[in-house]
Amino acid sequence: MYTIAYHGDGATPQKLAKDIGPDIKINHYWPNLNKQQALNWLIEHPTLAPFNLIGYSRGGYIITHITQTHHHLINAAILYEIPVLEYNQAPGTYPVLMIWNKSKNQNKDRKNTPEGQKTIKVWSQTHPITNLEGKGGHTRYQYWPPSIRHNWDQTLNQQINHWLETVNLQNI
């Protein structure tokens, strides 16, 4: 399956690739946070469908936008620390791997925020959800050069790959 990864706010495709590491096969790192351009690209490339989509934070929001009208193009989604924002539904029935990081301070866990609870509710209504828990907060700050990096827990990559392989085999 063709896999696309969408990065979060303040990051870049290159940073997401570095943060995820080489263990997960990504065919394309989406270059920006424009949700309509992301949807249009999928529509324009039907021979690559169905897609596996990976979204970290705002990148997962892009997937939520895509599923509103074109869920039939999606094979599976990995949603890592995502908000759903204005959406109250996530149409489709494809499998979803939902990952939330657990920090030392539970009050800072994104899963426990109103946005996190809404995300869980919206996606759980129609999709089979598998949950994983990562380590750390939501972002890491790199001091020089100053930038934001994703806090992707690479120790989960083996489990993520296993989940993707299982989902892909079920949908062949």
**Complete domains list, the chain, with CATH:** 2-170 (3.40.50.1820)
Residue 49 to residue 27: CA distance in whole angstroms: 13
- Tens of pLDDT, residues 2-35: 999 999 887 889 988 988 999 999 999 999 999 9
Q: From 152, 140, 83, select the one nearest 115 (Cα to Cα).
A: 83
Task: Using the Cα atoms of residue 3, residue 22, residue 6 and residue 68 in order, give the sign of their dihedral.
Answer: positive
Nearest to 126 by CA among 60, 55, 77: 77
With CA atoms as reference, report the closest residue to 80 among 109, 113, 57. 57
How big is the chain, counted in residues? Answer: 172
Q: If we measure between CA atoms, which residue out of 84, 87, 108, 85 comes closest to residue 98?
A: 84
CB atoms within 10 A of CB 139: 19
SS3 167: helix
pLDDT at 148 over 80: no
pLDDT tens per residue, range 78-129: 999 887 778 999 999 999 999 998 877 766 788 888 888 999 999 999 999 9
